[in-house]
Amino acid sequence: MLVKSGSGVLTMGASSSAGVTPGAVADTLVAPYNDLEAVAAAFRRHGKSIAAVIVEPVAGNMGLVPPARGFLKGLRALTARHGALLICDEVINGFRFGFSSYSALYGGVTPDLITLGKVIGGGLPLAAIGGKAKWMRQLAPDGPVYQAGTLSGNPLAVAAGLATLDVLEREQPYARMADLGSALAVGVSTIAAEHGLPITCQSFNGVFTPFCTDRPVTNLADAKSCDTALYAKVFHGLLDRGIYIAPSQFECNFVSAAHAERDVDAFLSAFEAVCRTLPA
């Protein structure tokens, strides 16, 4: 929604991109991730006018930040109590950690609506929304909400997506990707500590972000407190050694089904070589 929180969730935010109108900003409240009390406060203040809460179950858009215990269940309880929808944005999460959505596999919550993209397209431009029949029936042609586009249901993208999901279902690479991801994350954090560098690699089932801080990152404020100049040095050091991680501290990296143990070893050797060039 490209709206950033102002000084707090209860104040009106500002747009974080040109082209987002004040009207759109005024319709959006932003609460910090993993902060159930901030969401509860928004409901106390704005009560019935909140239509829905949208959350990435495992946050990927500030680097990889897993949900705190009880956070998603708490959002489910709050939205249910106030008659608002819970929308899980699983554009990154869906089919990434296992052959389903994060909310179904690990979150222990049933959202009203879910958004999917990326993996389900197998590299082609495909996205989807789904959810409870009551809400899906609101969409045209059954309901009054018009939804259509040039590429809606595009046969090429759908064929690619189905083929990808077939392979994932058959080969189930998830446990292997998770093992490689956690070996990589533990390796990065350990090597950084040995070199006295404040780098903590957070990971969840094969998705990871090396955060340039020695504290856990639980929300955007924590992510923003990271040493981005150090991240840039790590990024360029790895790039010089043939490894291209995300070019921003606020993105995540993905172990893929094509990766193997030797790739993790190569990553960690390159990372260690980079650490040797950095002052502690």
Least distance to ligand PLP, CB of residue 90, Å? 8
Binder among 88, 91, 120, 230 for ligand PLP (CB under 6 A): 91
Residue number with the smallest Cβ distance to ligand PLP:
91
Nearest to 164 by CA among 120, 117, 100: 120
Stretch that binds ligand PLP, among 88-96, 176-184, 235-243, 270-278 (CB under 6 A): 88-96
First-to-last C-alpha distance (Å) of the chain:
39
Least distance to ligand PLP, CB of residue 61, Å? 6
Helix (H, G, I), strand (E, B) or coil at 168: helix
Binding-residue pattern over the window 35 to 74 for ligand PLP, x denoting contact by CB under 6 A:
---------------------x---xx-------------
Least distance to ligand PLP, CB of residue 89, Å? 5
Quote the CA–CA distance of 276 and 280 in Å, as a whole number.
Answer: 9
Nearer to ligand PLP, 8 or 247 (CB): 247
Nearer to ligand PLP, 1 or 232 (CB): 1
Nearer to ligand PLP, 60 or 187 (CB): 60
Least distance to ligand PLP, CB of residue 132, Å? 20
Nearer to ligand PLP, 121 or 187 (CB): 121
Both tokens of 173, joined, read 């690479």
Return the DSSP state at 107: I
Q: Binding residues for ligand PLP, how many (CB under 6 A)? A: 8
Nearer to ligand PLP, 59 or 109 (CB): 59
Nearer to ligand PLP, 223 or 274 (CB): 223
* Residues of this chain, 92-121, that bind ligand PLP according to CB under 6 A: 92, 117
Binder among 38, 65, 89, 103 for ligand PLP (CB under 6 A): 89
Helix (H, G, I), strand (E, B) or coil at 131: strand
Quote the CA–CA distance of 216 and 222 in Å, as a whole number.
Answer: 8
Nearer to ligand PLP, 207 or 234 (CB): 207
| Phi/psi at 196 (5° precision) | 70, 30
Binder among 113, 124, 127, 243 for ligand PLP (CB under 6 A): 127
| Phi/psi at 166 (5° precision) | -60, -50
Both tokens of 100, joined, read 């389903």
Nearer to ligand PLP, 87 or 188 (CB): 87
**The residue type at 178:** A
Peptide bond into 141 cis (omega under 30): yes
Report DSSP letters for 224-279, one per residue. Answer: HTS-HHHHHHHHHHHHHTT----SSTTS-EE--TT--HHHHHHHHHHHHHHHHHS-
CA dist 181 → 185, 240, 254 (Å): 6, 22, 8
Give the number of other CB atoms < 10 A from CB of residue 151: 12
Least distance to ligand PLP, CB of residue 151, Å? 11
Q: Which stretches of the chain bind ligand PLP, using CB under 6 A?
A: 56, 60-61, 89, 91-92, 117, 127
